[in-house]
Amino acid sequence: MAKSTQTGLFEKALVKQAIKQSFIKLNPMVMIKNPVMFTVEIGTLVMFLVTGYILFSGDTAQGSFTYNLVVFLLLLITLLFANFAEAIAEARGKAQAESLRKTREETPARQVSLSGEIKTVSSSQLKKGDMFIVEAGEIIPTDGEIIEGLASIDESAITGESAPVIREAGGDHSSVTGGTKVLSDKIKVMVTTHPGESFLDKMIALVEGASRQKTPNEVALTILLAGFSLVFLLVTVTLKPFADYAQTPITIAALISLFVCLIPTTIGGLLSAIGIAGMDRALRANVIAKSGKAVETAGDIDVLLLDKTGTITIGNRKATHFFPTDGVDSTGFARKALVSSLADETPEGKSIVELARSQKVEVRQVDASRWRMIKFTAETRTSGIDLPDGTRLRKGSVDAIRKLVECAGNQVSDRTLTKVEEIASNGGTPLVLSENEKVLGVIQLEDIIKTGITERFERLRRMGVKTVMVTGDNPLTAKYIAEKAGVDDFIAQATPEDKLQYIRKEQGEGKLVAMMGDGTNDAPALAQADVGVAMNSGTQAAKEAGNMVDLDNDPTKLIEVVEIGKQLLITRGTLTTFSIANDVAKFFAIIPALFIASIPGLQSLNIMRLESPESAILSAVIFNAIIIPLLIPLALRGVAYKPIGAGALLTRNLLIYGLGGVIVPFIGIKIIDLIVGLFV
């Protein structure tokens, strides 16, 4: 997979931009979208007023001016840290989008009017339905579909892949992307999107955070966090009358500190950063998701539909074995096979030549003009060559050759037939070779399963994802390949309707289905699937129907998308756990500090042996603030996903983030207290 340039986590320019944004985001109208941090902002405002009151009145019933000022500043810093987390995630997304946008800079376009006139306009002036022509060496001005011609195109600007691709009118590879370069030939293209509405434009808006919608799980988590905040608001507010009853005056600063420490500010501050970073990670994998929801849903996928060709097997079938019949020597057979395919441009033909050459078989240079190529026709269902000496070499399926041979009064030997059956039952395709209507032997064609794909399916299985291979092959061949590649199920002789049916059936059982496709006839299935990934090389219809577009046209990309989706949820879950687990230590820091004067016995709860009540409260607030920037790298990169089964994964994350979340703040607060103790 071609990755675009990696942006460092904290690049100078991005940090600068993010710091500026951190202040802009203090606007309450923006803040209110995040209920947890909004309550912190209210607390900060109250502290500001208290500090101001002390400054002007000199009344120190609420503690010294400096102490209150420090608390106010710490709360402000907490807010800024949370804003910074979101801003840096957005800045990184923007930077990523910017590199994409560079390809969208104004390019001249040669527009073709209906009457055929050609005039040069700017790319931004092109509207949906307009037509333009592009020639070798020119940049394609905007997204469109080829309506005339064929061209090789360098798409490295958006995919990072240097090998040029072929795009042609009609068929499933007719779509071109703005910003890519035509290397050869000339094509006529029809614009398919309105200016500013191409996929890249939409994606840029999405990663920039401007049009980011909260995903369903994020909404639910926000509600739960708001619930926690509400409980702790009650705890703090009711503490005031409790303390009055116990004749212990509690300062506003202490109450607000307690509240801010208890509510889940860590996850509250990082929540949107995690969401944006998830989209960003998808983009780094060269996948354009139309919404954050699509990425999140990918993590829930139960069933994955994959095309056999190109995904599970390498392109087309290849010749793997020659089986000469009785009385034919193997070198002779290989030479005949080679000769029969010399002029055959099909992938199968080329692979026969390759196999023969690998067996050190060569033919003398001949005058090819005297050979007569026999192309495959639907009528004869064979292909081959007529040599100048009158030799007729033919290859084709057993049925076709049999017909040919038996018409000439010859027989197909039982040995040949047995071989043919044997090959077919092993998932191969037998090709029978004949010379002058006599059978010479059988060529075995096989699907070559991609290296490493079996491991990837195993990984998916451990994630709980069922893999389904979709192929046009007959059930026997399909079954063989499915078993060899390690997929769980297959759809043989698949029509687009079959795919749609299969998806509906699985969805009927409550499962979530993902599929990849590129053709127009895939569009209904792509739309029906919960996650439909269209290849960028695919047709416009396919891209419209899916909810993600893969710029690399790599069918195994779905696996990465699934992992990105899971990572997104895991990062949120673990940081929530961590955030709440932190409260234990904070309670032990603050509660004894609040009541030290009136209830000395409660000092026994001060198990960290913190210096003084003020330093205990300040240490807790400082810890609460600095944990946010410390966790930004984790939020942006995401917590690693390991396919070790749900139970094991939960145990692992519970130990690291749950137990860790209880222990870390005890140590952190103690260290901060030692440092604060030097100053107070």
Partner 1 sequence: MFQEILGIIAIFLLAVVLAIPLGKYIVKVFKNEKTWSDFIAPLEGFIFRISTIDPTEPMDWKQNMKAMLVLNGVFFVWAMLLLLTQGIHPFWNPDNIAAMEPTQAFNTAVSFTTNTNLQHYSGEASASYLTQLLVFCFLQFVSAGTGIAALALLFQGLLLKQSTTLGNFYNLFLKSCTRILLPISVVIAIILLTNGMPATFKGAEQVITLQGDTVSIARGPVAPMVTIKQLGTNGGGYFGSNSTHPFENPNYLTNMVENFAIILIPIALVFAFGFYIHRPRLGYAFFCVMTLLFLLFVGISVSQEMGGNPMLAKMGIDITAGNMEGKEVRFGTAASSMWGVSTTSTSNGSVNSMHDSHMPLSGGVFILDMMINAIYGGVGVGLINFFVFVVIGVFISGLMVGRTPELLGKKIEAKEIKIAALIAILHPMLILVGTALSSHLAAGNGGEVGYGGSAQWLNNPSFHGFSEMLYEFTSSSANNGSGFEGLGDNTPFWNIACGVVMLMGRFLPIIGPLAIIGSLAAKKSVPQSAGTLQLDSYAFSAVLLSVIIIIAALSFFPALALGPLAEYFMI
In the range 244-273, which residues lie near partner 1 by CB under 8 A? 244-247, 262
**Residue 138: which residues within 8 A CB-CB, separation 6 or more?**
181, 182
- Find the binding residues for partner 1 in span 333-372 (CB under 8 A): none
C-alpha–C-alpha distance, residues 624 and 264, integer Å: 9
Closer to partner 1 at the Cβ: 285 or 353?
Answer: 285
**Residue 280: which residues within 8 A CB-CB, separation 6 or more?**
89, 92, 93, 96, 207, 636
Residue (of 270, 235, 244, 246) closest to 590 by Cα position: 235
**Least gap, CB of 260 to partner 1 (angstroms):** 15
Site string for partner 1, 531-570 (x = CB under 8 A): ----------------------------------xxxxxx
C-alpha–C-alpha distance, residues 607 and 592, integer Å: 9
Q: Residue 116 has what DSSP assignment? A: S
Catalytic residue among 307, 552, 554, 583: 307
Asked if residue 302 binds partner 1 (CB under 8 A), the reply is yes
Pairing assessment for the beta strands 466-470 and 372-374 based on DSSP bridges: unpaired
**Both tokens assigned to 341:** 């395919």
Residue (of 289, 307, 337, 249) closest to 62 by Cα position: 249
Output the CA–CA distances (angstroms, integers) from residue 594 to 264, 589, 599, in the order listed: 21, 9, 9
Asked if residue 61 binds partner 1 (CB under 8 A), the reply is no
Count of positions on this chain that bind partner 1 (CB under 8 A): 76
Is 498 in the active site?
no
Please indicate if the annotation marks 578 as binding a ligand. no
- Find the binding residues for partner 1 in span 102-161 (CB under 8 A): none
Site string for partner 1, 480-519 (x = CB under 8 A): -----------------------------xxx--------
Residue (of 469, 670, 477, 662) closest to 584 by Cα position: 662
**Least gap, CB of 119 to partner 1 (angstroms):** 53
Asked if residue 237 binds partner 1 (CB under 8 A), the reply is yes
Contact residue for partner 1 among 649, 663, 677, 680 (CB under 8 A): 649
Asked if residue 275 binds partner 1 (CB under 8 A), the reply is no
Closer to partner 1 at the Cβ: 221 or 401?
Answer: 221
- Find the binding residues for partner 1 in span 433-472 (CB under 8 A): 461-466
Q: Residue 594 has what DSSP assignment? A: H
Closer to partner 1 at the Cβ: 352 or 515?
Answer: 515
- Residue 302 sits at φ, ψ, to 5 deg, of -100, -35
- Residue 124 sits at φ, ψ, to 5 deg, of -70, -15
Asked if residue 607 binds partner 1 (CB under 8 A), the reply is no
Closer to partner 1 at the Cβ: 166 or 220?
Answer: 220
Contact residue for partner 1 among 2, 45, 599, 663 (CB under 8 A): 599
**Residue 641: which residues within 8 A CB-CB, separation 6 or more?**
563, 566, 567, 570, 649
- Find the binding residues for partner 1 in span 155-214 (CB under 8 A): none
Asked if residue 646 binds partner 1 (CB under 8 A), the reply is yes
Asked if residue 299 binds partner 1 (CB under 8 A), the reply is yes
C-alpha–C-alpha distance, residues 356 and 341, integer Å: 10
Catalytic residue annotation: 307
Known binding-site positions for ATP: 344, 348, 376-383, 395
Known binding-site positions for Mg(2+): 518, 522
